Amino acid sequence: MAILPSLQQLRFLCALAEQCHFGRAAESCAVTQSTLSGGIKELEVRLGITLFERSHRHVMLTPLGKEIATRAQRLLVDAEELVGLARNAHEPLSGPLRFGVIPTVGPYVLPPLLSHLGTALPKLKLQVREAPTTVLLDKLARGELDVLLVAVPYELGDVQTMQIAEDPIVVAMPRNHPLGHHKVVNRDDLAREQVLLIEDGHCLRSHSLQACRIVNPVRNEVFQATSLRTLVQMVAANLGITLIPQIAVDSELASTRDVVIRPLSPDRPYRTLVLAWRPTSSRGAEFRMLGNLIRECLTGPKKAFAPDRDTAALPAR
C-alpha cells in the first residue's frame, strides 16, 4: 500500500506554490528552509513525480505540480473544517476564527464588534484580515479565511451569504457648499460637481458610481483617494464633494466641522453588508449565529448607523 502524503507536506507544497521562494515559504510555515525543502523532496518521492522546476534564480511549479497543489489546498481546507466541526460541536464559536473585512467597513464596525464579541463570546479568538473584496474572496476560496464581512452589490461568486444591514450612501460636501442648503441632493446636481471617488479596487467605488449613476467617472473626477479618511480631508479642503457610506460618517467627521452630509435622492441608495462563507463549510450554523451578533451590534442601542449631527434624517427602509 502506498504511503500517503502528510498534511504537513501538503502545507509545505501549498506554501511554496504560493511564494515560489523557499525562504519565504518556510517563514510562512514557521519552519526552517531545510525542513521545508526536505518535506517537498520527500513528497516528490512519495508521489513519484517532480512538483517544482528549480534553478538558482527561481522556483516554478510543473504543470502536474500545479494541479496537485490545487487539490492539496482543497484537502487542507477539508482537514481544517473537520477539526473545526469536532471542536465546535462541543462549544460553538470558540477558538480561532479567521475573519476577513473590507477597509470601508472594518474601521467602523470592528471597534464596537470586538468589544461586543469579547463579552458575548469570550472563548472566540477573532483573527482579523482587512483587504479589498477580491483579495478576501481569494483567501476564502483557498481556505486562508473562514468568513468575510463585505458589501454588495458585488459579484461574490460561489459563496453562502447572510444579510446583516443596509448602509445608505450619502453625499459629503464642504460646509459652505451651495448644495448644503438642500435637505437632500439630487443625482442631477452631482453631474455638475467635482465628485471625488475612492481608487479602483474598492467595491465602494462601484457602489458610489451606481448611486449617482455616473456613466463616465473620468469626466467627473480628478483625484482618487486610497481611503475614506483621505476623501473626507479632500472635501474639507474644498477640492470637491464625495459619496461615503453612512456607517463611516461619525468616525470620519469627528475631527472636522468643515464637512456636512446630505442624503441622495430620489431613491436614497444603499449598499448591503453581508457575511459570506464557503458553501462547503460545516460551520454555516455558527456563522449565522455570528451574523446575528454582528447585526445586534450594528442595530442595537448604540447602533453604527446613527445619523451624524450634520446629517439630514434618513428614513427607515
Are residue 69 and residue 131 in the same domain, yes or no? no
Are residue 24 and residue 148 in the same domain, yes or no? no
| Distance in Å from the first CA to the final CA of the chain | 63
Cβ distance 254 to 180 under 8 Å?
no
Total domains in the chain come to 2
Of 85, 106, 121, the residue at which a domain comes to its end is 85
Are residue 32 and residue 101 in the same domain, yes or no? no
Element holding 44 (H helix, E strand): helix 33-47
Q: What is the pLDDT along the chain (317 residues), one digit of tens a residue?
A: 568 899 999 999 999 998 989 999 999 999 999 999 999 999 999 999 999 998 877 889 999 999 999 899 888 888 877 776 776 666 778 888 999 999 999 999 999 999 888 888 898 999 999 999 999 999 999 888 999 999 998 899 999 999 999 999 899 999 989 888 888 888 888 777 878 887 766 777 777 777 666 555 444 455 566 788 888 998 999 888 888 899 999 888 888 889 999 998 877 888 999 999 999 888 898 999 999 999 988 876 545 554 443 443 333 33
Are residue 115 and residue 69 in the same domain, yes or no? no
The candidate with the shortest Cα–Cα distance to 262, out of 235, 239, 244, is 244
Amino acid (1-letter code) at residue 100:
G
Cβ distance 288 to 160 under 8 Å?
no
Are residue 118 and residue 67 in the same domain, yes or no? no
| Cα gap 58→86, rounded to integer Å | 40
Q: Is the peptide bond before 168 cis (omega within 30 degrees of 0)?
A: no
Cβ distance 214 to 224 under 8 Å?
no
Q: What is the pLDDT of residue 93?
A: 85
Q: What is the pLDDT of residue 210?
A: 72
Q: What is the pLDDT of residue 55?
A: 80
Q: Is 210 helix (H, G, I), strand (E, B) or coil?
A: helix
Measured in whole angstroms, how far is the alpha carbon of residue 217 from the centre of its chain?
Answer: 24
Q: Is 10 helix (H, G, I), strand (E, B) or coil?
A: helix
pTM for the predicted model, two decimal places: 0.71
Q: What is the pLDDT of residue 74?
A: 84
Are residue 74 and residue 23 in the same domain, yes or no? yes
| Phi, psi dihedrals of residue 270, rounded to the nearest 5° | -150, 160
| Cα gap 78→218, rounded to integer Å | 45
The per-residue DSSP string of 85-117 comes to: HHHHHHSSS-EEEEEEE-TTTHHHHHHHHHHHH
Are residue 15 and residue 106 in the same domain, yes or no? no
Cα→Cα distances 135→149, 162, 202, Å: 13, 20, 11
DSSP 266: T
Q: Is the peptide bond before 153 cis (omega within 30 degrees of 0)?
A: yes
Cα→Cα distances 222→91, 170, 241, Å: 52, 20, 12
Residue 33 lies in a domain: yes
Are residue 117 and residue 162 in the same domain, yes or no? yes
Q: What is the pLDDT of residue 309?
A: 39
Q: What is the pLDDT of residue 312?
A: 39
Are residue 274 and residue 170 in the same domain, yes or no? yes
C-alpha cell at 131: 483587504
| Phi, psi dihedrals of residue 211, rounded to the nearest 5° | -65, -40
**CATH number of the structural domain spanning residue 72:** 1.10.10.10
Cβ distance 173 to 241 under 8 Å?
yes
Q: What is the pLDDT of residue 142?
A: 86
The per-residue DSSP string of 224-252 comes to: EESSHHHHHHHHHTTS-EEEEEGGGHHHH
Are residue 147 and residue 270 in the same domain, yes or no? yes
Q: What is the pLDDT of residue 195?
A: 83
| Cα gap 202→307, rounded to integer Å | 24
Q: What is the pLDDT of residue 219?
A: 46
- How many angstroms separate the most distant Cα atoms in the chain? 80
- The parent domain of residue 251 ranges over 93-317
Q: Is 72 helix (H, G, I), strand (E, B) or coil?
A: helix
Cβ distance 153 to 207 under 8 Å?
yes
Residue 295 lies in a domain: yes
